[in-house]
Each structure stands twice: as C-alpha cells, then as structure tokens.
A and B are shown apart, each in its own frame.
Chain A
C-alpha cells in the first residue's frame, strides 16, 4: 500500500541501537576520569604533599568514614539531617508544582506573585536564614523552612515555564475536538509540564541538600553539618570531610533517581535514527 511505511520491527531496532551507542562510551569516560582524578589526589596524599591539618586525601577520608559509621555518629547525624531534608522536599515539591501551575495558567495570579517569586529566585537564600530563625525558631520548623526555600524555587520556575510553553497548535487541537478544561489538563498540559518538572526536581534535590547543610550550620547546629563542622574545628580534616562525601553520594543518588523518572516518563521521546 504505502511507500512511506517502514516496518514496526525496524523502528524498534533502530531505537535500541541508538541507545547502546550513546550509553557505552559514557561509562568508560566516567571510569577513566574517576581513576585519574581520585588516583592523582590519593597519590598526592601518599607522597606527603597534603597537610592533614588543612586538607585530606581519599584513603584517609575512607578510613575516617568507616570509623564514624562504626562509632554510630554518622548514622545518627544522617538520620537527623534526613528528617529536615525529607520534610523540606515533601513540602517544596507539591507546593512548588501548585504555585508554578497557578502562575502559568492564571494571569491574575501570575501578576500578583511573579515579582516576589523572581526576586526570591535571585536572592541568596542564606541571607534569609536569620529572619527565618527569628520568626520560626532555630529548630526543626526553622530548618525545614530553609530547605523549602532552597528547593522550591526551581520547581516553581520550571513548572511555570512548562505550563506557559504548552504547544499552541496542540491547544487548538484540544479545542477543535471540544475538550473540556479538565480533559485538556490530562491530555495536554500535565504531559507537557513533565519534562520541565523533572528538570526542576533535579535542581531542587541538589539545592535541598545545600539548604539542609546551611540550616545545620547557621541555626541550631545538628546532623551531618554539625558532625563535619565539629571535626573541621578540631582540625581532623579526614573526619570533617567524611560527611561531605556522604552528602555528595546522596546528591548523585538523588540525581540518578530523577533521571530514571525522566526516562520512565518520556518513553515517547524517541530518538529518530534512519
């Protein structure tokens, strides 16, 4: 019948091949990069070129890391920190989505709040720690609020842009087929926002971690932030950096989770290869 029809089977093979081609070198490049950077750093430490009072090196940090876990300090601190991190994200994500959607869809709401949102987006949230502590206290509520302020901004801004960038020709398609407003959200607006939201969540997780440590440094000292600061104060840099390594690992893990979500939600975005 057609001259313009590849077979269904051919489409899916092309798709698979393109994935493999992208994936494999990435693994090797990362491995080589890690070996060079971490190995070089370690070599500097082993040859006595790093002063243990001002800095440390990978094997010393690893030993300190296991010491802190064995003594139970690390897990206790991590448990404390995770409470404000999780609470902060649980508030920031839904609130950010709702605010972003309202801003993107309702002009009046946008004009009413956009000045504050974009002003806050450009403000270093650290500067807000003191007033927040004054109003909400220096404990759980105050710290969680700091995390929320750090994490919510990229979510609001990304969701807002996602809603605003809905494909106008598809909007016309929904109108042409007599879609109701709620059907339009389901068929068009939510799916178009997902990629923006996922990107926003990735940024939000990273900023939430920073917010968590900032809160633990600046308010009532606690958790991983306190653990790190205490040891750095005692000039035990290896133990002081061990919690930082844990934060990095959590940061990478959260980013990975977000990436997996992204792949899951965008199976329709097929790389077209001929």
Chain B
C-alpha cells in the first residue's frame, strides 16, 4: 500500500462527487486530490456542504455521483486509516479522558499494553498529561478538543479529517490550538482535510486552500499558500503575502456570484 508514498501521489482522490439530500442538491462535481502529508483547508460559506463533503470522505454517508478512493481503493464506509476530529468534540461523557483517547484503539482490538503506551504518548503530545482521570465535563472546551485530537491521532490514521474543530472555541484558545496542531503535524505528518469558515485559519494551516461556492457546493478555486512548513504563525500574520491573500479571499467570499479575478502574482514575495 505504501509503495507510492513519495509525497506527491494522492492519498485521497475525489472524482466527480455529487450529493443530494432528497431533492436538495448539496454537492456538485467535486474533484479533489490530497497528497500524502498535505494539509488541505476547505473554505466556504455556511451551508455550502463542507461538512457533508467530509462525511462522504469518511464514508459516513455515500455520494450519489462520483467516487472517493483512498490509495486507489473505493471508500464505501468508514475505515481505520482515516480519523475524524468533530466540531462538537464528540467525547463520551461517561468515559474518562484516557478512555476517550484510547477509544479507537480499543475498537481496533489493540492489546492493553499497546493502548496504554499510545494513549500516554498522545495525551502528552496534546498537552493533557495529568488529566487522564478527568471526565470531559470537568474540562474546558479547548481541553476537550485536545482530547478529540489525541483520540484521532492515537488511531494512527493516514488521513485526519477535521470538521471545523476549533469553531466552537474562543479566539485565544483557537490560536493556541492552531499552533499546537502545526507543531504536532510536524512531529507526525499526516494528510489532512481541514474544514473551516475562517479565512485566517484556512491560510495559517493550509498548504493548499480550496474555496467552495454556496449550495450546491462546487469548487470555486484553489491555490497553494506556499508558506512552507515550520511556519511561525505570528510572523506569517504580519507578512505581505498573507495580508494580500487574506484580502483576496475576503473579496471573493463577499461576492459569491462574481467570477474571482485570477490570484495576483504575489507568489514570490
């Protein structure tokens, strides 16, 4: 399976994906390739089918048209190589933090020793050491989402699916977690689809930003951010290229009906 892991071949491929809920046309003709270790951020107005798209990729729902393939295999249901981080955290309130983080491993039938080792590794990685015995209700939203992230990472997936994971958090917590996510991804790189409706978040985290149209969701345009790995978010925010792209995305999202101008030539700063 990993013969083509040279960082360029797609791990995930969506071809002509179309989705209807009854007579409601939600997604239309979506083609996306996600390369190994690439972070793709998907940006779009509310109700454009971003979350539906992610659920299709995860195999939670099926599309009426087109197909999703993972390393060349058709995705027709959830598979352990992909793990989702949910917007509302999705932790089991009656499980302790360590049990929540080890949930996927237990589902996969891993041995207890292996589970303990991985749980303690990922608990430390997301900065939750010392809170293993707490229940989710005892923790802040930011800490709960750290646990949600640790649970997904502990499953050791090839693809992380992030459904507006920081959308429910306050601004400060959100920025902290954005930095931590990049730090963690550098330590253990994975392909990632990151859904967001925040322009800043899309630019800060993405190797590539994909913008969708309002319903039915289509791909409007996409571009490489070109910021590279090991980026310093503070520095990035102040940079000319970031500001220009930010303004460009603002204008594009504000005028959903106008054909966007080609991306200005600011690739080289």
Contacts and interface: CB of A to CB of B under 8 A. Distances in A.
A243 to B, nearest CB: 41
Interface residues of B, number: 37
User: Which of A2, A177, A179, A180 has the most chain B CB within a 10 Å cutoff?
Assistant: A177
**Dominant SS at the B interface?**
loop
Contact of A187 (B58, B79, B103, B127): B103
Contacts, number: 86
B134 A8 contact: yes
Interface stretch (A122-130, A146-154, A168-176): A168-176
B58 to A, nearest CB: 6
Interface string A60-79: 00000000000000000000
A11 B132 CA distance: 13
Interface stretch (B135-143, B212-220, B243-251): B135-143
B139 to A, nearest CB: 8
Interface in B130-155: 130-131, 133-143, 155
Contacts of B143: 2, 4-5
B194 to A, nearest CB: 16
B90 A269 contact: no
Contact of B84 (A11, A176, A183): A176
A190 to B, nearest CB: 10
A25 to B, nearest CB: 24
Nearest to A7: B130
A8 B60 contact: no
A269 to B, nearest CB: 7
A5 B140 contact: yes
Given A170-B90, A187-B92, A2 B142 contact: yes
B135 A270 contact: yes
B135 A268 contact: yes
A129 B108 CA distance: 53
A271 to B, nearest CB: 8
User: Which of A5, A170, A266 has the most chain B CB within a 10 Å cutoff?
Assistant: A5
Interface string B236-254: 0000000000000000000
Contacts of B90: 169-170, 172-173
Interface in B221-264: none
Interface in A257-274: 266-270, 272
Interface of B: 58, 60, 78-80, 83-84, 86, 88, 90, 92-96, 103-104, 107-108, 127, 130-131, 133-143, 155, 172-173, 176
Please name the 10 residue pairs, one residue from A and one from B, whose CB atoms are nearest each other, closest first: A4-B142, A173-B90, A268-B135, A268-B94, A191-B94, A177-B104, A270-B137, A4-B140, A176-B84, A11-B138
